[in-house]
Amino acid sequence: MDECSLIQRLSAGDTEAFGTLVDAHQRRILRFAARMLGDADAAQDIAQETFLRLWRARARLRPEGDLGCYLLRIARNLCLDSLRARHVTEDMDESADLPQPPEDRLAASVGADALAEAVRRCVQNLPEPQRVVFVLSFYEEMSYRDIAALLGCPVGTVASRKYQAVEALRRRLRPWIEEEATR
């Protein structure tokens, strides 16, 4: 069954259609929230609240709308509220020390885990406007046009924020990049 039909059924209060839509979008919302917050448990809470809000708004839904974009917008706003409540305002240069690259090849597998953790921390410490664009573009593979529509800003702003995010990540991950270049 196509999404338009499911949204129509959801609008009428069909819990089966709701469950199908949750199943279709839940992984993406969880993944997005986890990358925005850096906390899998908090991401679960964000996803639950996102779908609760979908249920509450079911009568106002338009079948022709982009439900995925609508859900990401809700999740983004919930993530921002959560971050504000936690007072996350660390500057990237003031963030906790990142793991260092491995010094020998035997440590390469441990180094891959450490690199993944370093990237996760760096993304988590990006300023929110850059982080949301980076997560949606890189991890969720959304186009700049779709991100701009979701955020309500020009495509050029999305491109600029992505560029700033990538440059900040390059600066912060420079030890890792240099280590790879010497191998």
Domain ranges of the chain: 3-86, 92-181
Can you tell me the mean pLDDT for 130-148? Answer: 94
Instruction: Report the pLDDT value the prediction gives residue 93, as an integer from 0 to 100.
Output: 42
* pLDDT range class, residue 179, cuts 50, 70, 90: low
**In terms of Cα–Cα distance, which of 21, 15, 19 is closest to 63?**
21
Can you tell me the mean pLDDT for 83-88? Answer: 74
Number of neighbouring beta carbons within 10 Å of residue 30: 18
Is residue 97 within 8 A of residue 55, CB to CB? The reply is no
Helices (H) and strands (E) in the chain, counts: 9, 0
- Would the pLDDT of 140 be above 70? yes
Could you read off the pLDDT of 105-124 as tens digits, one per residue?
Answer: 545 555 667 778 888 888 98
- Would the pLDDT of 175 be above 50? yes
- Output the pTM of the full model: 0.75
Instruction: Report the pLDDT value the prediction gives residue 99, as an integer from 0 to 100.
Output: 55
Please provide the distance, in angstroms rounded to a whole number, between the alpha carbons at the two ends of the chain.
Answer: 51
- Would the pLDDT of 90 be above 80? no
Identify the CATH class of 92-181. mainly alpha
- Would the pLDDT of 95 be above 80? no
Is residue 69 within 8 A of residue 92, CB to CB? The reply is no
* String of DSSP letters for 4-64: HHHHHHHHTT-HHHHHHHHHHHHHHHHHHHHHHHS-HHHHHHHHHHHHHHHHHTGGG--TT
Instruction: Report the pLDDT value the prediction gives residue 43, as an integer from 0 to 100.
Output: 95
Residues of the chain above pLDDT 90, percent: 62
Percent helix, strand, coil in the chain (nearest 5)? Answer: 75, 0, 25
Query: Which of these CATH numbers, 3.90.470.20, 1.10.1740.10, 1.20.1420.20, 3.40.50.720, describes 3-86?
Result: 1.10.1740.10
* pLDDT range class, residue 94, cuts 50, 70, 90: very low
